[in-house]
Amino acid sequence: MTPIYDLHCHSFYSDGILSPNDLVSRAKAHNVSYLALTDHDTTQGIAVAQKAAKDEGIDLIPGIEFSTQWYGRGIHIVGLNIDLDAESLINGVAKQENSREQRARAIAERLAAKGYDGAYQGAQKYSGSELLGRPHFAKYLVEIGAVKSVAQAFKRYLGAGKVGDVKQMWPDFDEVIGWIKGAGGVAVLAHPDKYDMTRTKLRLLTADFAEAGGEAIEVISGKQKAGLATDMQRIADMFGLHSSCGSDFHSPGQPWQELGAFEAMPKNARPVWEFWST
Ligand code: AMP
Ligand code: ZN
Ligand code: FE
Ligand code: FE
């Protein structure tokens, strides 16, 4: 049996539900041999996850998922096999933390203009020790009855192009890829099919990503429709990128993004782990 690599998932240090310990146990139960923890803009969970992984006998690859922007769209870049002590990474994470805080205030202001006051404090109730993100605002909007569900909150107020979709704070590709490479890591364009772009736009995006020093693209992100991996592999080949795969797991009960539960890499793919395993 070929080992399963799941190179994209979240713990409760960003917007996931599970602790790093529970995440690692769940990965083990789903036969994952190599797991990368890639929380949004933070590496807080990595040390604990590494210890747990050692106990479970699986390999934990230190990772992160950075928020960036490209022509006014929010784009995610995953950094894999990063050195947590690298100065470039530490500075990058600190800068993102600050940007996330500024962004949360901007989202709250915009929601206030729509008649929903107190969103900053409201969202904070749900964030605990996490950095404030759109999911916390979504929960607040549900709480005050502005919407019926988190999904509806994104659809009406927080999703791409909506009033609370603030991404002006995020850095561009060059900066983020610089942080990742400065930490000896590999920069991976996350879930390319989830940006709601035409194929032409997606190719432009990938070209810019490769030009900025990006090295890989997620050809597989969770359970996806037949043929998509092959399609994404074509884009990888077009720009000489390696291929990555991951579930983007956030919480149990979402079978389309379950740890380790996705198809094998396309046959001709050059897997991203070639960068760190010899
Ligand atoms: P943020 O990092 O604050 O921009 O929040 C991004 C996170 O919001 C994603 O990682 C998802 O967990 C969540 N999210 C994005 N779009 C939706 C949606 N349409 N419905 C529910 N959750 C979403
Ligand atoms: Zn997330
Ligand atoms: Fe993402
Ligand atoms: Fe993610």
Q: Which of 3-7, 132-136, 242-246 is the least confident region?
A: 132-136
Average confidence (pLDDT) over 162-170? 90
The residue among 156 and 2 whose pLDDT is bigger is 156
Rounded distance from Cα 248 to ligand 3 centre (Å) = 7
Nearest residue by C-alpha to atom 6 in ligand 1: 134
Give the SS3 label for residue 216. strand
Residue list, ligand 1 pocket, CB within 6 Å: 15, 40, 67, 133-135, 150-151, 154, 159, 250
Whole-structure pTM value:
0.93
Helix or strand (DSSP H, E) at 219: strand 216-221
Q: Which atom of ligand 1 is nearest to the CA of 153?
A: 20
Nearest residue by C-alpha to atom 8 in ligand 1: 135
Pocket mutation for ligand 1, best pick of 12, 15, 176 (most atoms within 8 Å of C-beta) = 15
Over residues 123-159, the pLDDT tens digits come to 999 988 788 899 999 999 999 999 999 999 999 999 9
User: 15 falls in which pLDDT band (50, 70, 90)?
Assistant: confident
Res 168: pLDDT: 80
User: 83 falls in which pLDDT band (50, 70, 90)?
Assistant: very high
Nearest residue by C-alpha to atom 5 in ligand 1: 134
Closest CA to 249 of 104, 37, 3, 49: 37
Return the amino acid letter for 60: L
DSSP assignments along 164-188, one per residue: T---TTS--HHHHHHHHHHTT-EEE
For residue 75, give the ligand nearest its CA: 3
DSSP assignment, residue 157?
A: I
| Model confidence at 117: pLDDT above 70 | yes
| Model confidence at 38: pLDDT above 70 | yes
Return the amino acid letter for 105: R
Rounded distance from Cα 53 to ligand 3 centre (Å) = 23
Mean pLDDT (the chain, rounded): 95
Cα separation of the two ends of the chain: 20
Give the SS3 label for residue 6. strand
| Model confidence at 185: pLDDT above 70 | yes
User: 278 falls in which pLDDT band (50, 70, 90)?
Assistant: low
